[in-house]
Amino acid sequence: MKRFLVILLFLCGPALAVQPDEVLPDPAQEARAREISQGLRCLVCQNENIDDSNASLARDLRLLVRERITAGDSDDEVVAYLVDRYGEFVLLRPTTSGWNWLLWAAGPLLFLFAMGLGGVYIRSRSRAEAPSEAVLSPEEQARLRDILDDNR
């Protein structure tokens, strides 16, 4: 296992990802390719996008992305092409299909809920009666006396 991890690191390791020979001649197309690559996951790495990864698979995917772009695909078509072949695991930005809406909505929903709760709390505080001066419990009275006696 350890050996395997070392090999994985070796493959995906921090080195040069995009090589000069991969770069497309048209700067606009290249910029699109970079943009798309940054949203696609390197499948054999751990949480790296193919733009940053040094793995040979990532290189293949980068070349594939560029091939589709030069073939005239739109950005969405390129991504769809890759999802068809590698599954939605390849997407670093999950879709909103199925239960995934919950992932996207979780933050805003909780925010609205918390704002409501916070609002109710603040209103209740602003209408609350100011408490009368805090009254000490008998033990605290005794302790206060002790302290005052000590000081005398």
Partner 1 sequence: MINELGHFALILAALVACVQAVVPMIGAHKRWPGWMAVAEPAATAQFLLTLLSFAALMHAFIVSDFSLRLVVANSHSAKPLLYKISGVWGNHEGSMLLWVLILALFGALAAWFGGNLPATLRARVLGVQAMVGVAFFAFILFTSNPFLRMAVPPFDGQDLNPLLQDPGLAFHPPFLYLGYVGLSLCFSFAAAALIEGRVDAAWARWVRPWTLLSWVFLTIGIALGSWWAYYELGWGGFWFWDPVENASFMPWLLAAALLHSAIVVEKREALKSWTILLAILAFGFSLIGTFIVRSGVLTSVHAFATDPERGVFILAILVIFTGGALTLYAARAGTMQAKGVFGVVSRESALVANNILLAVACFVVFVGTLWPLVAEMLFDRKLSVGAPFFDMAFTPFMVLLGLILPVGALLGWKRGKMGRALRQLVPGFGLAVAVAGLVWTMQTGRSLLGPVGLFLGTWLVAGAATDLLTRVGRSRDYARLLRLPRADWGKAVAHGGLGVTMAGIAGLMAWQIEDIRAADLNTPYTVGAFEFELLGVQRVQGPNWFADRGEVSVRRDGAEIAHLYPEKRTYPVARMPTTEAAIHGGFWRDIYVVIGDAQQGGGWTVRVYLKPLANWIWGGAILMAIGGALSLSDRRFRVAAGARKAVPAGEVPAE
Which residues make up the interface to partner 1 (CB under 8 A)?
A: 1, 6, 9-10, 13-21, 23, 38-39, 41, 46-49, 52, 87-94, 98-100, 103-104, 106-107, 110-111, 114-115, 118, 121-123, 125-126, 128-131, 134, 150-151
Q: Give the span between the Cα atoms of 21 and 11, in whole angstroms.
A: 19
Closer residue to partner 1, CB minimum distance, 87 or 146:
87
Q: Pick from 47, 60, 46: which is nearest to 17 by CA?
A: 60
Q: How far is the CB of 103 from partner 1 (least distance, A)?
A: 5
Q: Report the Cα 22 to chain-centroid distance in Å.
A: 28
Nearest approach in angstroms of CB 121 to partner 1 is 7
What are the residue ranges of helices labelled H in the chain?
2-12, 27-37, 56-70, 75-86, 100-127, 138-151
Minimum CB distance to partner 1, residue 77 (Å): 18
Amino acid identity, position 101 = W
Q: Which is nearer to partner 1, 20 or 72 (CB)?
A: 20
CB of 118 to partner 1, least distance (A): 5
| Count of Cβ atoms closer than 10 Å to residue 62 Cβ | 24
Q: Which residue has the tokens 């206060």?
A: 144
Nearer to partner 1, 70 or 87 (CB): 87
Question: Of the two residues 38 and 71, which places its CB atom closer to partner 1 in the complex?
Answer: 38
